[in-house]
Chain A
Amino acid sequence: MRNLWIFISRYNAFFLFIIFFLIGIYLTVKNNAYQRSVTLNSTNEVVGTAYERFNVFKRYLNLGKVNDSLAAENAKLKTTLLALTTVDSAMDVKVIDTTTNQQYTYIAAKVVKNSVTLRNNVMTVNKGTLDGLEPGMAVISPQQGVVGFIRDVSAHLATIQSLLHKDTKISVNIKRNNALGSLVWGDNNFDIRKAFIKEVPNHIKMNVGDTVVTSGLGKFPAGILVGRLSRTNIATNDNFLSAELNLFNDFSTLQYVYVIKNKLAKEQELLENPVKPKE
């Protein structure tokens, strides 16, 4: 026993290394495998506040650009308004009130922390459970394009697992022929303006320039613009086609995002995975 203690204390550097290394690996793997219930991330009060403080300065520097995008959005809304008001109201049309049973509602949130340089990018926004956010909700960008999914939520903050993450997979359509595929990022190309559409069946014909939209099969509503194909028919070792696309939204300049609240999400989940009655 004495010899054992002498042995351990002589090589204490190695044994301590093993202990700490295993703790580190354990944390990493746990964080990868489960939908992390770890509190030490950027939804944490201290870290979150630090990022929010820093963001006040950054927001000021980007005022010009945000102004421009707001103006563009305004113009778009005005055009639609014009189109709505100039409808000939003398005609006898039956008006269906769709606002009361609207399936999707949008919650605007400000990005307080963003990253695009890592392999797995996560951003933080300033809305949380108090504003109705829940893990798993889809997030889109105000101009065009998908952003990702809500990951962790605290009272006032939430993290978003962006498209630029190895676990993010979004069901998309090629608009021209409704072919189904899944959108992923980072397949030996880590340009933040490019992504890949995979698992497209072999008989589908894809052209460069085809528009890609969300399919509506996942958490995103159908028809949200994603990008335009830039390279088609990439050889893969499975029986499906792949293509590269240019994303419409720029993750590096993201300032505001819209979180999509699906009113029927719970109902759909219950219907698809019914709770089995106990015998």
Chain B
Amino acid sequence: MGFYDLSTPFIYVLFLLLLPFGIPNILLYLLAFGTGLTLDAFYDTMGVHATACVVLAFVRISFISISLNKDAIDDPEPALSYMGFQWFALYSFLCISTHHLVLFFLETFRLTEIGYTLMRCGISCIFTLGLILLVEFIFYKRTSR
């Protein structure tokens, strides 16, 4: 019994998570769409990653505007070393889980395998989140906080 064949981590979302706070929405969406299309070209899944990335961008914008006061942001980017563990963990968890949900449901494209899809989504989500937190701790800037 192994979960290895069920979980596929998608570390590339970290690029979209770490884009600076001041980025215009249109640029963020274009970058997200472009990143997704690049992934799609290599995975032969036209549009699946692109859509998931666009959803991630929307969740990112919404979460930042709800949880932070836009005028009082003085940190350059939403990284772990600036924002603290709690905020960053919640932020990345929300973004990753919506991204993976959209990704796996579009990939499967049918509801009859919903149990399998959800399990795959959940396990992959944990895997990606773990790896992203690990990367963020490795590149932790101690002086900034």
Contact = CB atoms under 8 A, between A and B. Distances in A.
Nearest to A117: B8
Given A20-B29, A21-B55, A120 B47 contact: no
A17 B62 CA distance: 11
Interface in A15-57: 16-17, 20-21, 23-32, 36, 38, 40-42, 44, 47
Nearest to B25: A13
A40 B41 contact: yes
Size category of the binding interface on chain B: 35 or more
B48 A28 contact: yes
A259 interface: no
B54 A21 contact: yes
A192 B32 CA distance: 32
A119 interface: yes
A190 interface: yes
B47 A47 contact: no
B42 A24 contact: no
A28 B52 CA distance: 11
B16 interface: no
A27 B50 CA distance: 9
Contacts of B109: 28, 32, 166
Q: Is the interface of B mostly helix, strand, loop or mixed?
A: helix
Q: Which of A20, A24, A118, A166 has the most CB of B within 10 A?
A: A24
B42 A42 contact: yes
A29 B29 CA distance: 20
Contacts of A16: 25-26, 29
A26 to B, nearest CB: 7
A166 B51 CA distance: 20
Nearest to A12: B25
Contacts of A20: 29, 32-33, 50, 54, 57
Contacts, number: 103
A42 B41 CA distance: 6
B74 interface: no
Contact of B5 (A27, A47, A117): A117
A159 B51 contact: no
Interface in B93-110: 104, 106-110
A24 B62 contact: no
A74 to B, nearest CB: 33
Contacts of A120: 45, 107
Contacts of B51: 21, 24-25, 27-28
A47 B39 CA distance: 11
B71 interface: no
Given A40-B37, A188-B113, A27 B47 contact: yes
Interface string B5-42: 11010000000000000000110010011001100111
Interface of A: 12-14, 16-17, 20-21, 23-32, 36, 38, 40-42, 44, 47, 115, 117-120, 122, 159, 166, 186, 188, 190-192
5 contacts: A14-B58, A16-B29, A20-B54, A115-B43, A192-B5
Given A20-B54, A28-B45, A188-B115, 11 more contacts: A16-B29, A17-B54, A20-B32, A21-B55, A23-B33, A24-B48, A28-B47, A42-B44, A117-B5, A119-B107, A159-B44
